Amino acid sequence: MFEKNIVIFIPSFLEAEKIFNITYFQNFSHFSIGMYAGFPVVVTGACKTNAAIASSLFFANNQVKYPLLTGICGAYEESGLNIGDVVCITKDYLVDECNYNGNKITTLHEKGFLKEQEYCAEFSYFNEFKEVSSNTVSVVPHIKSIADLYMKKTKALVENMEGASFGIAANKFNIKPYQIRAVSNYSSSLEKQQWDIKKATKNLKNAVDTFINFFSQ
């Protein structure tokens, strides 16, 4: 099924349509797959659980040289990033698998329940784009103080809802995939989020094209 060296993974049908203009997907046993520029686009499902299940099933049964996870992300206000910026994530943390007492968070890794490799996913670096770390979250806060806690805990500049789960699953199969995302909003209070999905998805399509052109030569 996966005869290409490059397979693109994306969290949602919505992102696949907006970024790649894919409207037709073929259903296989565990995946829905579309095509972009001759390469498979696998929809993992949004959020941690879906991404973990889909990526585990995929990497248990397929070998791909250049797996790429892509999609939109939020940037922390103090990150220095602009809406629409494309970043290459090389570390992704399960930051909100934690205890929260209203003032600080203590991660399950800090409490000894998760080993480092179960808490932080490692991705390969594609040096066409700014290298950053990310937090993978289940709750997207509309309260800046919580976003500040996330950023302070790991020094990440962006956050998403799938990356660490996808990456940790891949790492268990000795795979370091790639993760390229575009900033669609700021992770802050509602009035400061500045959503621009159209700009982010346009820039992300160009970034994926760059990735494909580089690794398909």
pLDDT tens, 89-136?
A: 999 999 999 999 988 999 999 999 999 999 999 999 999 999 999 999
Which residue bears the tokens 């879906």? 50
With H, G, I as helix, E, B as strand and everything else as coil, classify residue 87.
strand
Distance, C-alpha 180 to centroid of its chain: 7
Q: Percent of the chain having pLDDT more than 90?
A: 87
User: How does strand 130-136 pair with strand 158-160?
Assistant: parallel
Give me the pLDDT at residue 189, please: 86
Give me the pLDDT at residue 2, please: 63
Residue 35 or residue 143, greater confidence = 35
Specify whether the CB–CB gap between 160 and 114 falls below 8 A. no
Phi, psi angles (nearest 5°) of residue 127: -80, 15
Give me the pLDDT at residue 7, please: 97
Distance, CA of 28 to CA of 171 (rounded, Å): 24
What is the pLDDT averaged over residues 124-151?
93
With H, G, I as helix, E, B as strand and everything else as coil, classify residue 188.
coil
Domains annotated for the chain, with CATH where assigned, are 6-215 (3.40.50.1580)
Q: Where are the alpha helices (DSSP H) in the chain?
A: 13-20, 48-61, 116-119, 144-154, 163-172, 197-215
Distance, C-alpha 79 to centroid of its chain: 17
Give me the pLDDT at residue 140, please: 81
| pLDDT beyond 90 at 194 | yes
CB atoms within 10 A of CB 66: 19
From 93, 68, 104, select the one nearest 159 (Cα to Cα).
93
What is the pLDDT averaged over residues 53-68?
94
| pLDDT beyond 80 at 82 | yes
What is the pLDDT averaged over residues 135-147?
88
pLDDT band at 31 (very low <50, low <70, confident <90, very high): confident
What is the pLDDT averaged over residues 131-160?
93
What is the pLDDT averaged over residues 153-181?
97
Specify whether the CB–CB gap between 200 and 84 falls below 8 A. yes
What's the chain's average pLDDT? 94
Q: What is the DSSP string of 132-152?
A: EEEEE-SS--SSHHHHHHHHH
pLDDT band at 3 (very low <50, low <70, confident <90, very high): low
